[in-house]
Chains A and B, each alone.
Chain A
């Protein structure tokens, strides 16, 4: 009986005390863990497509996930931290040290067969012919079909835009 009385008394005291602790440790929630950003990386990289990059990493890290080709050039914002504002990374290329922007394989330059710096006219024509016959190019495999023998020397100069991209 006495023990029960003591336990009740102690419980009341503890309850009273716990109600008046405005400076007690503040629970601020569970650790946030990693916030993942989805980036579409294309252009002069070995593997184009979507990549999940954890918050805190920069675009340098992201491009390296897609593996920069020897012909590739890092964009100017490479040391900026991935924040979701730049969700598409189009990696430029260089020819003999001269930097060029990658070209949308389904874009105006190709469709209108316009001359493009750093790219041979025949390559543009081959792509335009393929698109006229088969519709838009949606991944690297289709680009390989379109370029044929030109592929190895030119595929990194073109990219499939995020809107046209389909996994093979």
Chain B
């Protein structure tokens, strides 16, 4: 008997995914995974020869790995080919409706863009001061600096891929704006939004999100409540929603007793249109491809396997866009179905003899929800540092209600009196929202937990074995479960327990801030920032949570303008905190907050050095021109001023190894400079291209690391 019930498509999908992961690791010079995979392939080859396994399976898996590797490299190559570092342009483009329905965000996504040099592929992102003055469909002409939006930064950033954004326009001025027409998808989305908000005044935003997957109209608190209650997946258009649509159409089509091929041909039209309305998000694509695979499998093979159809859907999506592998939504969507195909089916086999219909339904609902939760638990922990614990319970109530709401909302989109169905829907959604809020408010509704990728892999392997795809006896299963459990625990321990510190500096560019954080071997940490931008502390958070920090020094460069909440986060993060203020401005609120936390701040006199193993020194030129942070021979200088202040800073501090500037100027080419935007100068590294920077020392040399 074979050990594994081999699913060629599953292993091809896995091979493709592994190849893509390997390629990304190679791009960043991390060779552990590629070497492990290469060794595994060699071992597989040896086993194939020795045990006379199927050679074609080996060939298929290895080719999938190579294909994934090649495709990802092709993506990177394409990005490099169309790279625009900084180009002065007059750009004309049409305002798409991304981030427009509901809360108008101050970011415009222009499509069909052209400049004086020709047409641009993809969308262009433009940050504007007042977004409410722009309508979807407007044709906007702007003059500014065109730059590429980079995907390969700090790993892979899939948000531009999702929205099809390839460029951004900065330092711009709008020179013309004329009204334009909406596309078909935009017209549909606008119609759905208008009908939903008119006829469901309390929760029209949820109806709109439920039907289109666009959560832009929902307020943050509501979204957070859905997340904490573990039902946010209901608002991401995926299998559940596509399943409803398929059920509705199948109900009608089955009456005509059509051939499955004809059925799928008819079904593809509304499903394709729905995917078009939902902007072809990875989760809806996955769901639709799975439906198609299911029908084709039923037609040609006479049987249907969820895991196989999931694998084919994954293969098709990754072949079309390998970067979707790094999309959290795609990962959650795929793993949920994986959980159903493995754990839930095994669970169903055990409870198939239950006679009571209600109990059967209850077991199925709870089981499915629990299996999806188990399957996605560590992905959630890995990306968000937390996962919902009450999701299984919430889903029991929420899924039936949302099913009703979804079907009713679709009918409510029909014209005339059908709209009034939304009045009822609104009340049901009040209940759903209340449930979400109640469950979210339960203490321990979510668990804050970090984990390593190994936990996700171990869980997947365990699910595969428990799902009956590995021919193991009870003892074998117990051993495998124990091994997987140990790996999971290890992953959590490795991720959660702070490790011994090393000398390292991180630099992160925010919208209005440059945050420099440093830790030393002796356990001292320093965070230097003006504490204005709440979103500029990712590296700092990671650094402080990864390393065992004994003493934390918070250095504020602009006391008057610092955000008290952000500052509070850091002054309460450690038992031994010192607060230094480098400038002479005042901030009553911050002083009160510090006093409340039993802290007093110290104003540092001009140019004096503070700190022990990590030192901070301000450089003055009428005000704070910059700060130099030093740790074990690594010195990083950060300058907050305009280009004149930056030049002054460089003249003053020629001993600095790496400079960080918030404004681009003609950086001297012999310097190593970090800036908000990439410049075409040797030795310059832009945050828009590389993300956050980690600066470390190895064998007496300094390295800038782009992804760890």
Most chain B CB within 10 A, of A10, A18, A32, is at A32
Any A CB within 8 A of the CB of B244: no
Given the complex of chains A and B, what is the CA–CA distance between A23 and B155 in angstroms? 10
Which chain B residues lie closer than 8 Å to A35 at the CB level? 654-655
Determine if A10 and B607 form an interchain contact, defined as CB atoms under 8 angstroms apart.
no
Residues 595-620 (chain B) with a chain A CB within 8 angstroms: 606-607, 609, 617, 619-620
Determine if B152 and A23 form an interchain contact, defined as CB atoms under 8 angstroms apart.
yes
Any B CB within 8 A of the CB of A98: no
Which chain A residues lie closer than 8 Å to B703 at the CB level? 25-28
Determine if B27 and A22 form an interchain contact, defined as CB atoms under 8 angstroms apart.
yes
Determine if A32 and B657 form an interchain contact, defined as CB atoms under 8 angstroms apart.
yes
Determine if A33 and B685 form an interchain contact, defined as CB atoms under 8 angstroms apart.
no
Any B CB within 8 A of the CB of A13: yes
B542 to chain A: closest CB distance in Å?
17
B 410-445 to A, binary, CB cutoff 8 A, 1 in contact else 0: 000000000000000000000000000000000000
Any B CB within 8 A of the CB of A79: yes
Determine if A31 and B634 form an interchain contact, defined as CB atoms under 8 angstroms apart.
yes
Q: Given A31-B634, A55-B653, A60-B607, is A79 in contact with B29 using a C-beta cutoff of 8 Å?
A: no
Given the complex of chains A and B, what is the CA–CA distance between A80 and B628 in angstroms? 15
* A21 contact from B27, B80, B628, B702, Cβ within 8 A: B27
* Chain B: CB-nearest residue to A55: B655
Determine if B38 and A13 form an interchain contact, defined as CB atoms under 8 angstroms apart.
yes
Determine if B35 and A31 form an interchain contact, defined as CB atoms under 8 angstroms apart.
no
Determine if A32 and B655 form an interchain contact, defined as CB atoms under 8 angstroms apart.
yes
Determine if A10 and B39 form an interchain contact, defined as CB atoms under 8 angstroms apart.
yes
Determine if B26 and A58 form an interchain contact, defined as CB atoms under 8 angstroms apart.
no
Residues 51-72 (chain A) with a chain B CB within 8 angstroms: 54-58, 60-61
Which chain B residues lie closer than 8 Å to A81 at the CB level? 607, 619-620, 652-653
Any B CB within 8 A of the CB of A6: yes
Determine if A28 and B35 form an interchain contact, defined as CB atoms under 8 angstroms apart.
no
Determine if B35 and A26 form an interchain contact, defined as CB atoms under 8 angstroms apart.
no
Given the complex of chains A and B, what is the CA–CA distance between A164 and B617 in angstroms? 36
Determine if B35 and A10 form an interchain contact, defined as CB atoms under 8 angstroms apart.
yes
* Chain B: CB-nearest residue to A37: B654
Determine if B628 and A56 form an interchain contact, defined as CB atoms under 8 angstroms apart.
yes
A15 to chain B: closest CB distance in Å?
11
Any B CB within 8 A of the CB of A108: no
Which chain A residues lie closer than 8 Å to B653 at the CB level? 55-56, 81
* B672 contact from A20, A25, A28, A58, Cβ within 8 A: A28
Any A CB within 8 A of the CB of B199: no
Which chain A residues lie closer than 8 Å to B35 at the CB level? 10, 13-14
Determine if A58 and B607 form an interchain contact, defined as CB atoms under 8 angstroms apart.
yes
* Chain B: CB-nearest residue to A24: B29
Given the complex of chains A and B, what is the CA–CA distance between A18 and B25 in angstroms? 11
Any B CB within 8 A of the CB of A9: yes
Which chain B residues lie closer than 8 Å to A56 at the CB level? 607, 609, 617, 628, 653, 655
Q: Given A9-B42, A10-B38, A13-B35, is A21 in contact with B655 using a C-beta cutoff of 8 Å?
A: no
Which chain A residues lie closer than 8 Å to B704 at the CB level? 25-26, 28
Given the complex of chains A and B, what is the CA–CA distance between A28 and B634 in angstroms? 11
Any B CB within 8 A of the CB of A83: yes
* Chain A: CB-nearest residue to B648: A83
Any A CB within 8 A of the CB of B643: no
A109 to chain B: closest CB distance in Å?
34
Main secondary structure of the interface of B (DSSP, over half): mixed
Given the complex of chains A and B, what is the CA–CA distance between A10 and B80 in angstroms? 29
Determine if A28 and B702 form an interchain contact, defined as CB atoms under 8 angstroms apart.
yes
Given the complex of chains A and B, what is the CA–CA distance between A135 and B655 in angstroms? 42
Which chain A residues lie closer than 8 Å to B707 at the CB level? 23
Any B CB within 8 A of the CB of A97: no
Determine if B26 and A28 form an interchain contact, defined as CB atoms under 8 angstroms apart.
no
Q: Given A26-B704, A79-B607, is A33 in contact with B34 using a C-beta cutoff of 8 Å?
A: no
Any B CB within 8 A of the CB of A96: no
Q: Given A20-B26, A58-B606, A83-B651, is A32 in contact with B620 using a C-beta cutoff of 8 Å?
A: no
Which chain A residues lie closer than 8 Å to B654 at the CB level? 32, 35, 55, 83
* B655 contact from A13, A34, A61, Cβ within 8 A: A34
Determine if B31 and A26 form an interchain contact, defined as CB atoms under 8 angstroms apart.
no
Any B CB within 8 A of the CB of A112: no
B63 to chain A: closest CB distance in Å?
16
Given the complex of chains A and B, what is the CA–CA distance between A27 and B706 in angstroms? 12
Any B CB within 8 A of the CB of A168: no
Any B CB within 8 A of the CB of A163: no
* B34 contact from A17, A24, A34, A85, Cβ within 8 A: A17
A18 to chain B: closest CB distance in Å?
7
Most chain A CB within 10 A, of B35, B617, B619, B702, is at B702
Which chain A residues lie closer than 8 Å to B706 at the CB level? 23, 25-26
Residues 653-708 (chain B) with a chain A CB within 8 angstroms: 653-658, 672, 683, 685, 690, 697, 700-707
Determine if B28 and A30 form an interchain contact, defined as CB atoms under 8 angstroms apart.
no
Q: Given A17-B34, A23-B28, A24-B29, is A32 in contact with B701 using a C-beta cutoff of 8 Å?
A: no
Determine if A25 and B655 form an interchain contact, defined as CB atoms under 8 angstroms apart.
no
Given the complex of chains A and B, what is the CA–CA distance between A56 and B606 in angstroms? 11
A85 to chain B: closest CB distance in Å?
8
Most chain A CB within 10 A, of B152, B655, B672, B704, is at B655
Given the complex of chains A and B, what is the CA–CA distance between A87 and B635 in angstroms? 24
Determine if B27 and A23 form an interchain contact, defined as CB atoms under 8 angstroms apart.
yes
B700 to chain A: closest CB distance in Å?
6
Given the complex of chains A and B, what is the CA–CA distance between A27 and B703 in angstroms? 5
Determine if B655 and A79 form an interchain contact, defined as CB atoms under 8 angstroms apart.
no
Determine if B652 and A27 form an interchain contact, defined as CB atoms under 8 angstroms apart.
no
Which chain B residues lie closer than 8 Å to A28 at the CB level? 657-658, 672, 683, 701-704
A22 to chain B: closest CB distance in Å?
6
* Chain A: CB-nearest residue to B617: A56
Given the complex of chains A and B, what is the CA–CA distance between A27 and B657 in angstroms? 12
Given the complex of chains A and B, what is the CA–CA distance between A56 and B652 in angstroms? 7
* Chain A: CB-nearest residue to B27: A23
Determine if B700 and A30 form an interchain contact, defined as CB atoms under 8 angstroms apart.
yes
Given the complex of chains A and B, what is the CA–CA distance between A22 and B83 in angstroms? 15
Which chain B residues lie closer than 8 Å to A13 at the CB level? 34-35, 38
Any A CB within 8 A of the CB of B73: yes
A4 to chain B: closest CB distance in Å?
13
Any A CB within 8 A of the CB of B633: yes
Q: Given A55-B653, A81-B619, is A31 in contact with B31 using a C-beta cutoff of 8 Å?
A: no
Which chain B residues lie closer than 8 Å to A60 at the CB level? 607
Determine if A31 and B633 form an interchain contact, defined as CB atoms under 8 angstroms apart.
yes
Determine if B26 and A31 form an interchain contact, defined as CB atoms under 8 angstroms apart.
no
Q: A21-B27, A28-B702 are in contact. List 13 more A-B contacts (CB 8 A).
A: A14-B35, A20-B26, A24-B27, A30-B701, A30-B702, A31-B635, A31-B700, A31-B702, A33-B633, A35-B654, A35-B655, A54-B655, A81-B652
**What would 12 A/B residue contacts be, using CB atoms closer than 8 Å?**
A14-B35, A17-B34, A23-B152, A25-B705, A28-B703, A29-B701, A31-B634, A31-B697, A31-B700, A56-B617, A61-B607, A81-B620
Q: Which 8 A-B pairs have the closest CB atoms?
A: A24-B29, A31-B633, A55-B655, A21-B29, A35-B655, A25-B703, A58-B607, A25-B705
**Which residues of A are interface residues toward B (Cβ below 8 A)?**
6, 9-10, 13-14, 17-18, 20-35, 54-58, 60-61, 79-81, 83, 85
